[in-house]
A and B are shown apart, each in its own frame.
Chain A
Amino acid sequence: MNEMTPVQSVGVAKPLVDGPEKTTGKAMFAADFQAAETLVGRILRSPVAHANITAMDTSKAEALPGVHAVVTEADCSDTYGVLPIAMNEWALARGRVRYRGEPVAAVAAVDVATAQRALDLIEVTYEELPAYFSAEEARAEGAVLLHDDKPGNIERDAEFDLGDVDKDMAEADLVREIEVKCSEVCQVQMEPHATFAEYDGARERLTIRPSTQVPFYVHKMLARTMGMAEGHIRVIKPHIGGGFGSRTETLQSDLIAGLLARKARATVKVVLSREETFITHRGRPESHITMKVGMKSDGTITAVDFTVQQRGGAYSGYGIVTILYAGSMIYGLYNISSARFQGLRVLTNTPPCGAFRGHGTVKTRFAFEGLIDDMARELGLDPFAVRRANLLAAPTMTENDLLVNSYGLDQCLDWVEKASDWQARKGKLPANKGMGMACSHYISGASKPKHWTGEPHATIHLRVDWDASITLLTGAAEIGQGSSTVMAQCVAETLGVDMSRINVVSSDSALTPKDNGSYSSRVTYMVGNASIDAAQNLKARLIEAAARKLEIATDDVECLGEVYRGGQQDQGLTFDEVVMEALAGEGTITVKGTFDTIPESWGGRKYRGAAIGGTMAFSYAAQVVEVTVDPYTAEITVDKVWVAHDCGKALNPLAVEGQVQGSVWMGMGQAMSEETGFHEGLPLAANMLDYRVPTIIESPPIEVGIIEAADPHGPFGAKEAGEGSLSGFLPALTNAVADAMGVRACELPLTPDRLLELLEKKARDGGANSDRGAA
């Protein structure tokens, strides 16, 4: 027995615990559920972008044989929205529509054809209003207000002015400005939105399976919209086909499914088309950024002065948070003291934007990393040297009171510089090839939750019964990111047992403890810590039982995971025997674990909204992108990406690699091809072909370096891994194009037509503003 050691589960590449279901087709997504007499739910959407609804007649639809329910705003008890201070949406439009495609009414019928016919029979009279499709139009003098309580069509103006920007800018050796425009992008998760709702008319209870990242928020909003007691609703999260922020707030389709099921007193399935999923949107807003940076001749940044304007769409959604992130996250990556920010979130007659992966930070990072790359070139400094001249020293607090407790950016820089052979190859590539680099960071969950109830940030239950298996009950939403696997790893590692002992039950409001959901990269950090806490509590119970059985003191029990013993000479007890002893006289064991953030991480009070950005830990990333540009077609090929990500501790190195590769690649789509686009409010690219999601053909090899600058409070030192690498790709790409072709791209996506325009302008200008010309 001497050689026995606890089983190691953390730091080991582990396949996902729900991988077999996914590879055999057994995983059940919302649209896969089917019960006898399931009704088809369909939504009638506004054909106009902005109008008052002056009349609606649903009587013909209701009279159509096969129609079981028609719902409108009259069936809704209240508004909904993700931020308690900005709930201004109705599941079905009340009195006014504010974007083309906004849900107006919905039907439940025996089949698709009947449901469609019923929608055609609903008569709605619209009195059209002027519609605004750009932030400028919506802000113009005299524009009609989308919401009466939002003067100027401004959702939120945000600002801060920290340090002494004017003085520090004046002390710089070089001051330069950049203006960037980035198109709106959409998450386009593979699974279109779907909800399966069952209503038990005898008991007046709703059971619902929504495709969501936030079952708890959906639960709250269902109760609010339907006027039902929260305890009469059961929310069960099925398998989820990706999220990336598109389902980080309650969607109308979730609420409509509940409303239809109740009215029909039946089971209703609402499955949106891909076009409707695009229209539901909640993506990243079109943004216009101006930025001025001051730099010393050695690369030290003295001050940043910037403005961000976002076209937010028709409703509040996450808007206030998005615009605040766009400002606050200028801090936390580099040692910047003086910064001034002015942000405007504008309401427009386009689908509402939301919290896309890298929430709020991406476009600001694009502007900043492009600008300092140009300034480095002008000062004759290597891009790596400029970044290294501005490193932070953890632990520290930033000027806007963000806690930086661990910091691996220096190691990230070292890794990508070496892996890409930057110093030997940069500047020496053949014509039309180039290399660019950039850095980025992201939070590991917001330290102040949106719904501040005083509860811990995360709660985990562990249950052990007679079969000596461990059931891990978590409200955290597994959406494909591997959260259930990470939690099982944390529990197995703490107990020293094999992961096969652990069954994870994720997100069923009747069984699992409340959790705020999967967003802002909070789960590994917060729920991981709660998992460790629960496992420690369970271990203490098992050690007590072992001590009792072995007739020794608890301090003398040696826990080897599968064996508990009194010393090397003791044969000890198996895990199963210990469990039997623990159950004796007590029955099934349930223990709890929790996690709370520390007050130092809550963000500051120096300006309105300063809590946004406050987090327990930042991840850090650096990447190098190598490109080839066709000088005639301006088509860019990404040849290779090297990316290093500081995740504190790679609990599951396989999953970390997968998350980082996915982030970089998603940044690539946004940088090179993806944009929604509207004509008079009509989506121009509401399908995956016109929207131009990259295929496997144009997707590059992505080599990942895992950096582990352990966080003092992280679970085994871990921090987030699923978002921080995204934003760096955009500037690394345009920096590589600048290296290859000598042009600075300020508009994204950098499609061939946009790049060709830049190349032609450069040729007309006689190659000015270029350090290395095209072929």
Chain B
Amino acid sequence: MAPRVGIVGIGHIKFGNLSEYDLVDIMAYTATDALRDAGILADRRMVDQLFVANMGGGVINHQTGIASALVSRLGLEPTPAELVENGPASGGSAIKLGYMAVASGMADVVMVVGGETMRKVTGWKATDFVATLGHPEAEYGMGLTLPAFGAMFARLYMERYGVTERDLALVAVKDHANAARNKYAHVQEPCTIEAIHESPDAHVVNNYVAEPLRLYSVCPVSDGAATVILVNMDSPKAAAFRHPPIRIAGLGSATDTHCVHNRKDPLHLDAVRLSAEKALAMAKLTPQDISFAELHDAFVVLELAIAEEVGFYPRGKAVEAVRRNENAIDGKLPLNTSGGLKAKGHPVGATGVSQVVELVRQLRGKAEPGRQVKNPRYGMAVNFGGFGNNVVAIICAKE
């Protein structure tokens, strides 16, 4: 029987514009933060394996061999270290590999670090770089960027399910309210529905980015890093850590067609559904057992669509929960308690790890006042790569 795997250390840096810092330095910062949190900073050689999630070091920062650089920066040689690149799902994939390393018995303590510095280049270059995950001829070569995908998806979703721009703005208001209380969030400024949707100034204050998506419908371009430390809960080493482990109860991943236009229905995010089904089955849970979730809302419409694919709501019905404010911190099902990608930020390689850091903070009961979910038991993260073509879902449980 495979050992249980838990998270005993977390580290995070405030997302934002960190362009004056080196990519490996900010990764090392969060790794050190996690080692300290785990209580093994002095004994960091307990780490048997390092996985590093990053998407654009070679392209944006002209830096490769990042895992080797980080292991050396941390003084962890000769610990094995590998880089994981899986688009915006790199973080989730790195945690998955960390889980597999522990579950297989190859390692007892694994550190997973995700990081990205995207603001060293202009927003256009960052957008262009992320767009390279599309099909080189059918998508990227035709000028399709992720905001363009998001806009087309949103338009179809809105038409089919009667979702309005006001509904999308309500998701943003909720996300910003959460981020305003999250010390790690990129945008810690709340917004109001009056200001971004109803006021006579709203069309300028909340301008279109890619119609129907507005400024407050899309995530910012962020720098940042996050770290988790995994442990074999059934190993004697587990006793060395400061915090009781938060168990990884379920983990699933799946893929979909590279080209969005090859899908039977472009609104069906099959990889999300399949990865969530696998994670829930592994955890022996149903969607209704989940206390809160971090969903990959690079565009706020994705929070609705992913919530439906996971099974929290029937297709087309998530918007009703939004209108009832059910996804707020004190609602029936809090979503994106961190502020989500929308307001916490989206440094692509860091995002999946950051989502799991948020699960751990909530399950430990250590989120900031006003942002703590009441008595959470199970948290779910959905890390979405490509435009839904490579997805990782992770469920964490408070033992």
User: Do these two chains interact?
Assistant: no
